[in-house]
Chain A
Amino acid sequence: MMQDITSLSLCELADAIRQGRISSCQAVTACLERIDAWQPRINAFVTIDREGALASARRADHSLAEGRILGPLHGVPLAHKDMFARAGRTASCGSRIFSGEVAKETATVLERLDGAGAVEIGTLNMTELAGSDTPGEEPLGPCHNPWNTQRFNPGSSYGPAAALAARLIYGSLGSCTGGSIRIPAAVCGVTGLKPTCGRISRHGALTRSWSLDTIGPMARTARDVARLLGCICGFDARDPASSDEPVPDYERGLSIRLADIRIAVQRRFWSVVDPDVADALACFQEILARQGATIRPADLPDGHLLWDLASVLSDCETATVFGRDLRERGADITEANRNQLQRGNFIPAPRYLEALALRGRYLREFCEGVFADADVLLTPALPLPPPAIEKMRDERFADEFNRSRVINIYTRPFNYLGLPALSVPCGFTADGMPVACQLVGRPFDEATLLAVAHAYQDLTDWHHRSPQI
Chain B
Amino acid sequence: MLKKETIADLANELHGLPLDDGRAAALADHVARLNSLVRASASQLARGDEPAQFARMLALLKRPAGT
Contacts and interface: CB of A to CB of B under 8 A. Distances in A.
A, B assembled together: yes
A258 to B, nearest CB: 16
B22 to A, nearest CB: 7
A241 interface: yes
B57 A364 contact: yes
Interface string B17-40: 101001100110111011101111
A351 interface: yes
Interface residues of A, number: 49
Interface stretch (A32-40, A83-91, A353-361): A353-361
Residue of A355, A360, A364, A443 contacting most chain B CB atoms (<10 Å): A360
Given A243-B55, A338-B17, A358-B44, A348 B35 contact: yes
A445 B17 CA distance: 45
A345 B14 CA distance: 9
Contacts of B34: 308, 311-312, 315, 347, 351
A313 to B, nearest CB: 10
B50 A312 contact: no
Contacts of B63: 375, 442, 444-445, 448
Given A241-B55, A448-B63, A342 B11 contact: yes
A330 interface: yes
B38 A305 contact: yes
Contact of B55 (A198, A361, A367, A403): A198
A176 B31 CA distance: 22
Interface residues of B, number: 38
A339 B23 contact: yes
Nearest to A375: B63
Interface string B34-59: 11011110001110001101111111
Contact of A360 (B14, B19, B31, B53): B53
Interface in A301-340: 305, 308-309, 311-312, 315, 326-327, 330, 335, 338-339
Question: Interface on chain A toward B: helix, strand, loop, or mixed SS?
Answer: helix
Contact of B62 (A327, A348, A351, A442): A442
A330 B17 CA distance: 7
Nearest to A326: B15
A179 interface: no
A354 B22 CA distance: 30
Contacts of A308: 33-34, 37
Given A308-B34, A347-B31, A443 B62 contact: yes
B30 A363 contact: no
Contact of B37 (A312, A342, A448): A312
Contacts of B33: 308
A334 to B, nearest CB: 11
Contacts of B61: 363-364, 367, 371, 442-443
Given A311-B34, A346-B2, A442-B63, A339 B57 contact: no
A245 B59 contact: yes
A371 B58 CA distance: 13
B46 A360 contact: yes
Contacts of A338: 15, 17
Given A338-B17, A339-B23, A346-B2, A351 B58 contact: no
A346 B30 CA distance: 10
A198 B37 contact: no
A229 to B, nearest CB: 16
B62 to A, nearest CB: 5
A197 interface: yes
A330 B46 CA distance: 37
Nearest to B47: A357
Nearest to A245: B59
Contacts of B55: 197-198, 241, 243
A4 interface: no
A359 B10 contact: no
A330 B16 contact: yes
Contact of B40 (A311, A358, A363): A358
Contacts of A358: 38, 40, 44-45
A355 B45 CA distance: 10
A326 B10 CA distance: 13
A211 B54 CA distance: 10
Contacts of A355: 37
A311 B29 CA distance: 13
Contacts of A361: 44
Contacts of A243: 55, 58-59
Query: Which A-B residue pairs are the 3 nearest by beta carbons?
Result: A360-B57, A443-B58, A356-B50
Given A356-B50, A395-B22, A444-B63, 13 more contacts: A198-B55, A243-B55, A308-B33, A309-B37, A311-B34, A338-B15, A342-B11, A351-B35, A351-B37, A354-B45, A356-B51, A359-B54, A361-B44
8 contacts: A315-B31, A326-B17, A343-B31, A357-B44, A358-B38, A360-B56, A442-B62, A444-B62
